[in-house]
Amino acid sequence: MDRDERSDWQPAPALLDHMRQPRNNGWLLQPDGQGYMLGDCGDEMAMWVKADGDRVERIVFVTSGCGTSHAAGSMATVLATGRTIQEAMRLTQQEVLTALGGLPKDHEHCALLAATTVQMACEDVLVRRLAPAESTP
């Protein structure tokens, strides 16, 4: 039976925790990378990363989305913190879903929005490092 067909489905403690008290919610000044994604549902998420060498030192998010998207952004940033940039770029929707103890089927895309925004922000760190330094006149 599909999870959403069960009448006894309850949000896991981790989901409730991250909905009520999102971690890493806000902005960063002078980030080393940033990502933005507009989800199919019309909600937006943006993230900013500070890197310490090859590691994600800090990553924060804002979203215009629902409570589960706040929980997903929160969990995705928690999972990405401390990983190498390359590892964080491989963060998946399923990892976020598993860490939250699952989401209702019609909100699983919130985890995809969060994981993809992490990937984009971390990819931007690498792109910026490859970009030639601006020359001053």
Closest to ligand FES by CB, 44 vs 87, is 44
- Roughly what angle, to the nearest 10 degrees, separates helices 108-130 and 67-80? 40
68 sits near ligand FES (criterion: CB under 6 A): yes
Among 22, 107, 117, 124, interactor with ligand FES by CB under 6 A: 107
Closest distance to ligand FES from the beta carbon of 113 (Å): 5
Token couple for 75: 């969990």
Closest to ligand FES by CB, 97 vs 125, is 97
- Classify residue 103 by its DSSP letter: -
Closest to ligand FES by CB, 54 vs 106, is 106
Of the candidates 66, 24, 68, 67, the one whose C-alpha atom is nearest the C-alpha of residue 49 is 24
Of the candidates 100, 116, 123, the one whose C-alpha atom is nearest the C-alpha of residue 44 is 116
In DSSP terms, which residues pair with 62 in a beta bridge?
46
Among 14, 41, 62, 126, interactor with ligand FES by CB under 6 A: 41
Contact positions vs ligand FES (CB under 6 A): 39, 41, 43, 65-66, 68-69, 107, 110, 113
